[in-house]
Amino acid sequence: MEIEREEVGDVTILAFTGDFDIWNLPEARELVNGLIETGARMLVLNLAGLTFMTSSALGFLIKTQKDLKTLDGDLVFAAPSNYFRRTITTLGIDRIFEIFPANEDAVKYFGG
């Protein structure tokens, strides 16, 4: 999996490409937790290039969102791939996370 990072004001956009599985979860966890430790509170995960996600990876994202909400922040999704959109709808995850069609819409959600 590859993760590209972009900053738009106070919003951090992370674009995930490839498989988000148990093998690359530690790298993603280190990156995201590092961002939060240094003050990031508004995270957008662009999932247009996501092709697969394990339950462990999804659990990490749910926990991260809960942690951010306790810090008056949030984690939202943008541009989910067809695979991911089907998965989140089937699992009911679309009731947990705000999901936007594009990065710009997610940034606007944060007031940007």
Would you say residue 83 has pLDDT above 80?
no
- Gap between the Cα atoms of 12 and 16, Å rounded: 13
pTM strictly above 0.75: yes
- C-alpha distance from residue 22 to each of 1, 69, 95 (Å): 11, 25, 24
Query: Cβ–Cβ contacts within 10 Å for residue 71, how many?
Result: 11
Contact of 76 with 101, CB cutoff 8 Å? no
Mean pLDDT of the chain: 95
CATH for 2-109, options being 3.20.20.70, 3.30.750.24, 2.60.40.1180, 3.40.50.620: 3.30.750.24
